[in-house]
Structure 1
Amino acid sequence: MFCGIVAGEVPAFVVADEPDGVAFLDTRPVFKGHVLVVPRTHLVTLDTLPAEVLPGYFRLVQQIIVAVETGLGSGGTFVAVNNKVSQSVPHLHTHVVPRTKGDGLRGFFWPRTRYTDDAEATGFARRIAAALA
């Protein structure tokens, strides 16, 4: 599924498409504006990410963190990578979740929500992408 998004064959709300990875909205976000960052190459876990790709990949993750906070006005972000356990898609992906004080997120309990429609998701994707510029 994520390989299809990277290849442009599966529709997604893409916020960044860079040489070291692609960032797009999670379709079942913890909070609206929840972004997934994936490497272009199919890898299952973080430990298999080649050392030469590591700096560019995590530079993209850093840029998405700033873009989520700036573009959405969030107070911060929660950044996480699941390796195997709780990894619903077997493709390395880094979660960047917008946070606000009192948002109710406790520990690793991740309640999920949905976007009202594609227009709302597009709006969130555009706001984050614009903050990357």
Structure 2
Amino acid sequence: MDCIFCKIVTGEIPAKLLKETDHSISFLDAFPLAKGHILVIPKNHHQKIQDLTENENSDLFSLVHTMISKVDSISGSTLLAVHNGKDAGQEVPHVHVHLVPRSADDSAGAIHSMFNGTLKLSDSEIEEMYNKLKI
């Protein structure tokens, strides 16, 4: 497989590994958006979060929970980001969670700054989305 993250997991590509668990690893991002930007990935190749097994999912987000305290100690705030699919901005088709230290002067904004305004949905559109998403 020609996946950069799989090659990091196998050691074929070097990385600054921070912590490893049974199913996940965390390491410094090679192209950081801020000092202390890290990635947390599952060891097994999965493109989307919903493809993870329950054990892999629990392990991944347990490691995120552990590492976010370390990242948060850098600036006091941390952006947690997952691009779940190509249209969501996922550039490497292997699940990965970004932990990016944030500060008031970093020129990045809130999630709403990524979009051109909010949607105005009709009551029927809201009801349709509600029915599709409720469990």
The match for 2:99 is 96
Shift of 1:42: 0.4
If you compute each CA radius of gyration, which structure gives the higher value, 1 or 2? 2
Name the SS of the counterpart of 1:60 in structure 2: helix
Name structure 1 gaps, 5 residues minimum.
111-133
Identity of aligned residues (%): 38
Task: Give the count of matched residue pairs.
Answer: 108
Selected match of 1:16 from 19, 24, 30: 19
Question: Is contact 1:20-1:60 (8 Å) kept?
Answer: no
Letter in 1 for 2:35: K
Name structure 2 gaps, 5 residues minimum.
115-135
| Larger RCO (alpha carbons 8 Å, 6+ apart) | 1
* 4+ long deviations beyond 6 Å: none
TM-score, normalised relative to structure 2: 0.73
Aligned equivalents of 1:33, 1:46: Cα separation in 2: 24
CA RMSD of aligned residues (A): 1.6
The match for 2:79 is 78
The match for 2:119 is none
The answer to whether residue 27 in structure 2 is matched with residue 27 in structure 1 is no
Aligned equivalents of 2:11, 2:20: Cα separation in 1: 10
